[in-house]
DNA sequence: AACATAGTTGTTACATTATAACATTACATA
DNA sequence: TATGTAATGTTATAATGTAACAACTATGTT
């Protein structure tokens, strides 16, 4: 479930990005928010809100659903995480400093999610919206299947 | 919310497709299933499960959540409807006889959903999956924004 | 230091979306 | 008509998410 070599580095990097982004934008990267982001980054699989809650509760007696959902809203708003609508689950954003539209490859076997932001695909989506005279505001693109590693087993 | 001229014709056509498909495949297109499909086809906006339930209850005293969800599962399984994951809502499939991968343009203002199945976009998605050595099994692509009609107002 | 204030967190309650599990009924066909 | 399968009825509960108000905390201002 790591797909990234040394996963600690991966988490570390994400937390530092978050720190930097919040600093730059005058946002408060509180202990709670940091901890939720850390839990989400524990691996590359999508994390469910109530699983986050279950973890938080162990360290933080007053954790309740709003505790988690508020942190999630904050992280989503500032693009530090994404919600996968097809799974009702959340993943860390793997390039919060360079946002365009993103899409996701979600492995059914190992649950690893890879975030892609290819120019070509983005262009194809835009073209299609334009062809229908549709003004595109938000795009949800989630592909589930099997990742390279799982296919090779 | 119609986006189709004479909407009755639209619903009528969908019900006949369903009838035909069920017949061909030896499936039972029961009153309940038919009625749920009809409710979904009442317009081109996504319909929520509990709104379907609210309608069914008025005509069918024993309707309960499982009543609706079973009908939805049946209709989904046989591709007579689609679920929009980004909205937790359901829309009629507008071309059940010719299935490829579909995507959706969802207008935030009038709620009309248009189902598209462009070859080019489908190809772009496939290419992208291939580039990541990912075997694509299911694709969720939902674009929300504003439709042509609403933009012109 | 005292205060004002805006943002964050605590707390309770509830809304929405969906499924499990088992009982009963309807339908097709031997 | 017996009989097996699929569909529906029924009760309960799981999973996901939000509203509303109270209490607290960080920060800047007098």
Chain segment B127-136, per-residue pLDDT in tens: 999 999 999 9
Residues A26 and A46 in one domain: yes
pLDDT of amino acid B95? 83
pLDDT confidence of A146, banded at 50, 70, 90? very high
Q: Among candidates A67, A83, A82, which has minimal Cα distance to A35?
A: A67
Q: Containing domain of residue B133, as a range?
A: 103-151
Residues B62 and B16 in one domain: yes
pLDDT by residue (tens digit) across B72-92? 999 999 999 999 999 999 999
The rounded distance, in Å, linking the Cα atoms of B147 and B110 is 8
Residues B69 and B109 in one domain: no
B chain contacts of residue A142, beta-carbon cutoff 8 Å = 85, 139-141
pLDDT of amino acid A70? 98
pLDDT of amino acid A1? 53
pLDDT of amino acid B99? 64
A-B C-beta contacts closer than 8 Å: 121
Name the nucleotide nearest B74; use CA and C1'. D7
B71 CB and strand D closer than 7 A: yes
Query: Is A1 within a domain?
Result: no
The rounded distance, in Å, linking the Cα atoms of A153 and A148 is 9
Residues B42 and B113 in one domain: no
A chain contacts of residue B114, beta-carbon cutoff 8 Å = 132, 134
Residues B25 and B78 in one domain: yes
pLDDT of amino acid B18? 96
Query: Is A57 within a domain?
Result: yes
Residues A78 and A54 in one domain: yes
Q: How many domains does chain B fold into?
A: 2
pLDDT confidence of B144, banded at 50, 70, 90? very high
Distance B8 CA to D24 C1' (A): 58
pLDDT of amino acid B119? 85
pLDDT confidence of B3, banded at 50, 70, 90? low
Contact A91, A44 (CB under 8 A): yes
Residues A53 and A78 in one domain: yes
Torsions phi, psi of A33, nearest 5?
-65, -40
pLDDT of amino acid A7? 80
pLDDT confidence of B118, banded at 50, 70, 90? confident
pLDDT by residue (tens digit) across A53-78? 999 999 999 999 999 999 999 999 99
Sign of CA dihedral B89, B92, B95, B98: positive
Residues B82 and B119 in one domain: no
* Min distance A125 CA to chain B CA atoms (Å): 6
Last residue of a domain, one of B62, B92, B122: B92
* Closest residue of chain B to A152, computed from CA coordinates: B133
pLDDT of amino acid B117? 82
B chain contacts of residue A132, beta-carbon cutoff 8 Å = 105, 114, 116, 147-148
The rounded distance, in Å, linking the Cα atoms of B70 and A62 is 38
pLDDT by residue (tens digit) across A108-122? 999 999 998 878 899
Strand partners, B144: A138, B106
Last residue of a domain, one of A47, A65, A92: A92
Mean pLDDT taken over chain A: 93
């Amino acid at each position: 479930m790591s797909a990234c070599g040394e996963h600690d580095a991966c988490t570390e990097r994400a937390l530092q990005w978050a720190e930097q982004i919040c600093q730059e934008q005058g946002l408060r990267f509180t202990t709670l928010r940091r901890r939720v982001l850390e839990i989400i980054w524990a691996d590359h699989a999508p994390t469910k809100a109530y699983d986050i809650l279950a973890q938080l509760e162990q360290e933080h007696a007053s954790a309740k659903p709003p505790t988690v959902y508020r942190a999630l809203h904050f992280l989503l708003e500032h693009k530090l995480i994404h919600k996968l609508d097809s799974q009702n689950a959340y993943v860390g954003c793997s390039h919060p400093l360079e946002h365009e539209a993103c899409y996701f490859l979600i492995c059914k076997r190992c649950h690893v999610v890879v975030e892609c932001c290819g120019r070509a695909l983005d262009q194809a989506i835009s073209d299609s919206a334009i062809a229908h005279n549709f003004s595109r505001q938000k795009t949800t693109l989630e592909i589930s299947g099997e990742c390279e590693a799982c296919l090779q087993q």
